[in-house]
Structure 1
Amino acid sequence: MTKLKNRTARAIGAGLLALAAPAALVAPAVPAAAAENRLDSAVKALRAIGTMKASFRQIDRSGQQVSGTMTLKRPGKIRFQYQDSVPLLIVSDGSRLTMLDYEVNQKQVWPIKNSPLGALLQPDGDISRFGTLMPTSHKDVTSIRIKDPKHPEYGTMTMIFEKNASAPGGMELAGWVSVDAQNKTTKILLDNHRYGMTVSNGTFMFKDVRARTKR
């Protein structure tokens, strides 16, 4: 069971950093004035976050799930600490996003701008620049698809916000969706949000994977 979870976590972790946009996310246009207002509100809400911690669940398209804790420190830093049975870590130090798989001693590194998470992490990131407001079935829910048309290889991230008066900027990031080049969907769901705590920069350091011995 643990090995299954670890394989699932690896696939989901890759999905978190995945490229390409799903055709299913294409939807009718929202009136320009309303779209601009809601995009502006989402931008302000993200910029109002200094530090945040939240529980997360990652769900792949087959329904497999792993969970853990996300720690965010703007600008640019994030850490996904997985449940104890999953030897995987995803962390950004402000410029690079690193995925470490301690079970197989593998590490992958990307500039944060080349990941869908760049919309959330880049110091100068502005989701209104490449964001498209997507229709939702609830007036208190805002869905924004972010994709740079000049760099489709950077990927697509659809961010979901919920109206919450107690959250910075009055909107809370509820999660996001990414889809890889093989149309494998990964959902990230956030819960138990906490804001404004002290977070050391050491939180975004990590134990490197062991170097493989050459034979």
Structure 2
Amino acid sequence: MKRLVAPLILALGAASLPNLTAPAVAQQGQQGLEQVNAYIRGVTTMTADFTQTDRNGQTLTGKLTLKQPGKIRFQYQKGVPMLIVGDGKALTMIDYEVRQVQRWPIGSSPLGALLDPRKDLSRFGKLIQTGDPKVISVQARDPKRPDIGTITMIFERDPSGPAGLQLYGWVALDSQNNRTTIRLSNQRYGVAVADSAFRWSDPRPKGRSAGG
């Protein structure tokens, strides 16, 4: 089957995004970044349904589980033998079809912008104008690591959400210009999430196990 999951971890951003130059817009941008920072720091746990669409328009669905700091799980729909798990230190992609495991530090993925409450978005992020006052869009890119791509997180203003925001999803662009869009629905915050949710079964030959 085609590899539809890897672009997610390399995580994208929107291309040709406008620069913020006017002082008033810059101030608005700083306020938006501070609100997004507050959202990320305010989330302890979250579950949501997700829809992933790749650059070819192919779509997969599944369940996202997040627990700060750094723990995340993308459980794909039935019939997709792939799993992505972040255990607080590293992201692991498990391909049960070919019995392969790939693992790298969370800091080597733009998803780190969402999974590390200690990060200050004002240092590596910028507000993107959306034309809709109810929508906040933030692009995060590490200028020292252009190889890991960019992520553009999209939030909707919602008084019931952490810091008055709701994470709507994100768009990712990797260094090979592979674009993936993640859209969330049915978000739930503060739910009980066991650490066992971030363990996985290692499909590799015996003696090479690294999962839980």
TM-score, normalization: structure 1?
0.89
One of 15, 19, 23 as aligned partner of 2:7: 15
What is the rounded CA distance, in whole Å, between the counterparts of 1:16 and 1:141 in structure 2? 22
Query: Structure 1: where are the runs of 5+ without partners?
Result: none
Counterpart check, 1:170 vs 2:161? no
The Cα shift of 1:100 comes to: 0.3
Question: Counterpart of 2:92 in structure 1: which amino acid?
Answer: T
**Cα distance, 1:205 vs structure 2:** 0.5
**Alignment of 1:54 onto 2:54:** no
Normalising by structure 2, what TM-score?
A: 0.91
Q: Is the 8 A contact 2:125 2:140 kept in 1?
A: yes
- Aligned residues: CA RMSD: 1.7
Q: Which residue of 2 aligns with 1:191?
A: 185
The answer on whether the counterparts of 2:63 and 2:75 sit within 8 Å (CA) in structure 1 is yes
Unaligned runs of 5+ in 2: 208-212
SS in 2 for 1:17: helix
> How big is the shift at 1:21?
5.7
Aligned length: 204
| Seq. identity, % | 48
d(CA) in 1 for partners of 2:163, 2:51: 24
Find the partner of 1:82 among 47, 71, 76: 76
Corresponding residue for residue 115 of structure 1:
109
Which structure shows the higher helix fraction?
Answer: 1
**8 Å CA contact 1:131, 1:145 repeated in 2:** yes
Q: How far is 1:210 from its partner?
A: 2.4
Shift of residue 183 of structure 1? 1.3
Matches of 1:126 and 1:194 in 2, distance apart?
A: 24
Match of 2:17 among 14, 26, 41: 26
* Structure 1 ranges of 4+ moved more than 3 A: 19-22
Q: What CA distance in whole angstroms lies between the structure 2 residues aligned with 1:168 and 1:141?
A: 15
Q: How far 1:127 moved relative to its partner?
A: 2.1
> CA contact under 8 A between 1:59 and 1:66: conserved in structure 2?
yes
> 67-76 or 172-181: which moved more?
172-181
